[in-house]
Each structure stands twice: as C-alpha cells, then as structure tokens.
Structure 1
Amino acid sequence: MAEIHGSDAPLAHIPDDLTISQFILDTQHPLRPVPNPEQPWFIDETTGREIKLKEVSSRLFSNSWS
C-alpha cells in the first residue's frame, strides 16, 4: 500500500466562528480563487436565468435575519 506524505508546512487557519453561509460566501482564503462577480453560481434549467453571487448573497442573508 502506498504511503501519503504531506509537506511539513503548517496548515492554514480554518475559521470556526462562522455560519456555513458566511464561510462559503464571505470568507477569503489564500488558496481559494477570488470569485468573479460576473460568473453565475446557479443557472435555472428551465429559463436559463443566471443567478450570480450578489443575488445569492442578498437573498441568503436577508432571509437569515427575518
């Protein structure tokens, strides 16, 4: 069986004081690519309507506070 070895570099900090939505939408990590605001996050299969980060974020956070 093959052995897997990692580097001896310390692991990056993982925030543990965020909600899942905050972690996915608001957190920037050095290894994560910067999100393109014009790239759709969802595409409606029926209509082809593109839903982008701004709309996802506003709908999610407005619903979580109501």
Structure 2
Amino acid sequence: MDKLYTLSVGNTTEYGVADSEESMRESAGDIDPRFSYLPVKIDEVKVEGYEITLTSLTEDKPKNKGGRPRKEA
C-alpha cells in the first residue's frame, strides 16, 4: 500500500508517494532535483485515528488550462 511522505530541505517542503521510505529516498530526485544531492528529511504523513488513502490520477487526470478565460472582442 502506498504511503504519503513529506520531503524537506531547508524551507522547501514537497509531498511524495511511495510504498516505503527506502523507495521514497530512491525517487526523491524525481520530485525535486535538489533532493538528489542535498540531505533530505523524509517523514511519513500520519493522522492519528485515520487512514490516508491515495488514488492515482494518471489515467483520468483533469486538464488544467490555467489563466483567465479569453474576453470576446
């Protein structure tokens, strides 16, 4: 089962998903290139009394066009 992790270096904090802390360490550089060569602190995200469920969105990921809609001239 995949777990949610925080990866921190200085003021930079990112989130990542992996099945173990070891695999998170191996793929940390994919999340942020700085995590490949800097000492990164990795912690599993836990909420007491709850189970965190992760669902992949790679198949049906919504497209974010971003920005404001165009004004009609």
Higher relative contact order (CA 8 A, sep 6+): 2
Q: Is TM (by shorter chain) over 0.5?
A: no
Q: Write 1 or 2 for the structure with the bigger share of strand.
A: 2
Q: TM-score, normalised by structure 2?
A: 0.21
Q: Write 1 or 2 for the structure with the bigger share of helix.
A: 1
